[in-house]
Amino acid sequence: MATARQLIGEHGNDAVSMREIAAKAELPISTIYQYFPDKSALLQHIMQQYLDLTRDQLRQHFDDVGTIEQFLEQIGTAVDDFFTLFGQEPALSVLWAAMQADPKLCTLDAETSQSNAVYLTDILHKLAPQTDKAATKIALWQLLHNASTSAQLALHMPKDQRRLLAEELKFTLRLRVQALLN
């Protein structure tokens, strides 16, 4: 897994073959194909690990939220952690782009964003029952999906602009949540 993640992250999904991954990992190619019928399946496995990690991070931030103020505060720390993840794993941007280029994996990403949006919508609705659940889910789904695009963009920006982009994302998320509450 680490070898595939490294090679795809460095060279891009299209530039790396299963044969190259096997050679670099010092494994027979048949071993890789035993677990992954094609590169798309391998990329899906790699990305599922990241999607699970981001879901778990989100839950760490929001599971114990008991007030709207805490919810709004956790938006900031969740965005910071998400940007940190991308910053610590520069290959993640290339892997995420490869996922977006594969229709099946693009659907996985959208489903994960939707699942996270439902999770946050349920929390927000418990804290503020007057919120329109359908509108909240759509808004959060779109904003969460945009967060990954922003984190990818940040990797190609100077550090001071990265920070500004993260602050803008936090502002936008908080502003939208506050609008949903009214």
The string of pLDDT tens digits covering residues 66-110 is: 999 999 999 999 999 999 988 888 788 888 888 888 888 888 888
pLDDT tens-digit map of 121-137? 999 999 999 999 999 99
Q: pTM of the prediction?
A: 0.88
Contacts of 31 (CB under 8 A, 6+ apart): 22
Assign 176 a pLDDT band (cuts: 50, 70, 90): very high
Q: How far apart are CA 151 and CA 90, in angstroms?
A: 10
Percent with pLDDT over 90 in the chain:
57
Statement: residue 150 has pLDDT above 80: yes
Mean pLDDT of the chain: 91
Q: How far apart are CA 32 and CA 35, in angstroms?
A: 6
pLDDT computed for residue 58 by the predictor: 96
Statement: residue 118 has pLDDT above 80: yes
pLDDT computed for residue 151 by the predictor: 87
Statement: residue 164 has pLDDT above 90: yes
What is the DSSP code (8-state) at residue 15?
A: T
34-63 in b/e form (b: 16+ CB < 10 A) is: eebeebbebbbebbeebbeebeebbeebbe
pLDDT tens-digit map of 37-72? 998 899 899 889 989 999 999 999 999 999 999 999
